[in-house]
Amino acid sequence: MTTPTVTERGRLTALRAAWLFDGTSSALVRDPLVLIDGGAIVAVDSGVPTPEDADVTDLGGATLLPGLVDTHVHLAFDASPDPVGHLASQNDDEARDAMIRAGQTALRGGVTTVRDLGDRDYLSLGLRGRPGMPAIVAAGPPITTPGGHCHYLGGVAEPTAKGVRAAVREHAERGADVIKIMASGGTLTPGTHQHVPQFTLGVLRAAVDEAHRHGLKVTAHAHAVGAIADAVAAGADGMEHVSFWTEDSVDAPPYLIRLIADRGTVVGATVGLVPVPGLKPPPEVIARVPLMIANLRRLYEAGARLVAGTDAGIAPIKPHDVLRYSPAMLHGELGLSPAEALRMVTSAAAETIGLGHRKGRIAPGFDADILAVDGDPVADLAALHRIRAVYAGGTTVPR
């Protein structure tokens, strides 16, 4: 005779607070109760008593919102004045340790999911699923030209259809979640120019085609007007920066704004910076920022799919927890409503990176990634800086 065994179900965790932003609706839920079983949200209610089989954490006057999702970070860059030099001086073990510290910084700042759009030697792939880190969607080293933008990260491909197809295949075989391709030059790489495309349209098309054959989406780093036009024409799923950079200014042709909106190409707006006394973006950036913001606004009004990313790690004004600063910029400078701005760093961001079914919302079946802040972030986005608690996969993040 066998003795029946009773598997004891673990106790539920119940979070209570004053308000809840669920990641999608503009209206806050009053007196929420979020029930968590292990790593997942199992119920979201309002004004109901706490079930007896749950351990309660009452966060008082706080607002609960989904853990933030940054669509564009670089864990391998340490947000120092010389992130490229620092990375070059590190071996892989040292770089990996620094990436773990970067991830922990993000997590403490409420960023529970990141898309790493450029590491070195595929290091971010090995950090996926690691406890104490945000969830990571990883591109591996960005695909670039010989001597091209971020070539030192190891993603150099011969700039031909054959060359980029081979590079995409290698990324797919290594297990990358997304393909990042450098369609133009960038500020971090001397010798490259933001206003100059790096690949021809035909080569970009081949890269996108190869990625899609492997079930991978492509996002293109695209500053130059020609690079943006080519990325859209090549069928890239998304673009980063989209600054419409020209040699001496910024120029966004109306037809291209229209085309980006019509094609549904995701526009990764690079927003959010931490004010650091004495530190400012370079003058060529400062001069263009008002124009870039106006163009993002035009894209938004044209119906383009705008999403926020920070480029965390690339400079001291871009630490790994900088995403909390993005919604205020989206609201104050682009004119989005606070709720829209919050959606762009939660549900819309999660959807963009392929995790819309698990991340970015507080709803049954979603991962228990939750941020609790003092005050009401819809009324006052600065509340995002008053963090009371962060939960990642149902586990409290040490403060």
Segment near Zn ion (CB under 5 A); pick from 20-28, 191-199, 309-317, 367-375: 309-317
- Nearer Cβ to Zn ion (221/361): 221
Least separation in angstroms between residue 129's CB and Zn ion is: 23
Distance CA 316, CA 327 (A): 19
- Nearer Cβ to Zn ion (112/219): 219
- Nearer Cβ to Zn ion (187/395): 187
Q: Note whether 22 binds Zn ion by CB under 5 A.
A: no
- Nearer Cβ to Zn ion (210/311): 311
Segment near Zn ion (CB under 5 A); pick from 212-220, 229-237, 289-297, 306-314: 306-314
Least separation in angstroms between residue 310's CB and Zn ion is: 9
Secondary structure (3-state) at 202: helix
Secondary element (H or E) of residue 102: helix 92-108
Q: Note whether 119 binds Zn ion by CB under 5 A.
A: no
Rounded to 5°, the CA angle 183-189-191 comes to: 90
Nearest CA among 281, 341, 286, 345 for reference residue 314: 281
Q: How many residues bind Zn ion (CB under 5 A)?
A: 1
Least separation in angstroms between residue 148's CB and Zn ion is: 14
Q: Note whether 311 binds Zn ion by CB under 5 A.
A: yes
Write phi, then psi, for 81 (nearest 5 degrees).
-65, -20
Q: How big is the chain, counted in residues?
A: 399
- Nearer Cβ to Zn ion (23/118): 118
Least separation in angstroms between residue 182's CB and Zn ion is: 9
Least separation in angstroms between residue 212's CB and Zn ion is: 22
- Nearer Cβ to Zn ion (22/311): 311
The position carrying tokens 């190409």 is 265
- Nearer Cβ to Zn ion (230/240): 240
Least separation in angstroms between residue 84's CB and Zn ion is: 12
Secondary element (H or E) of residue 360: none
C-alpha distances in Å from residue 28, one per residue of 23, 170, 225, 261, 377? 10, 45, 40, 30, 10
Least separation in angstroms between residue 150's CB and Zn ion is: 8
Segment near Zn ion (CB under 5 A); pick from 199-207, 208-216, 230-238, 311-319: 311-319
- Nearer Cβ to Zn ion (119/311): 311
Secondary element (H or E) of residue 187: none
- Nearer Cβ to Zn ion (68/117): 117
Contact 49, 6 (CB under 8 A): no
Segment near Zn ion (CB under 5 A); pick from 46-54, 61-69, 79-87, 305-313: 305-313
Instruction: For strands 217-224 and 178-182, give the pairing.
Output: parallel
Q: Which residues are within 8 A (CB) of 81 and not within 5 positions of it... i.e. 6 or more apart?
A: 315, 316
Chain position whose Cβ is nearest to Zn ion: 311
Least separation in angstroms between residue 123's CB and Zn ion is: 15
Segment near Zn ion (CB under 5 A); pick from 24-32, 144-152, 278-286, 307-315: 307-315
- Nearer Cβ to Zn ion (78/311): 311
DSSP 281-349: --HHHHHHHHHHHHHHHHHHHTT-EEEEE--BTSSTTS-TTGGGGHHHHHHHTT---HHHHHHHTTHHH
Least separation in angstroms between residue 269's CB and Zn ion is: 13
Least separation in angstroms between residue 139's CB and Zn ion is: 10
Show the beta-strand stretches assigned E in the chain.
Answer: 12-16, 19-20, 29-30, 32-37, 40-46, 54-58, 62-66, 68-73, 111-116, 135-138, 178-182, 217-224, 238-245, 266-270, 305-309, 370-374, 387-392, 395-396
Distance CA 149, CA 240 (A): 14
The residues that touch Zn ion, with contacts defined as CB under 5 A, are 311
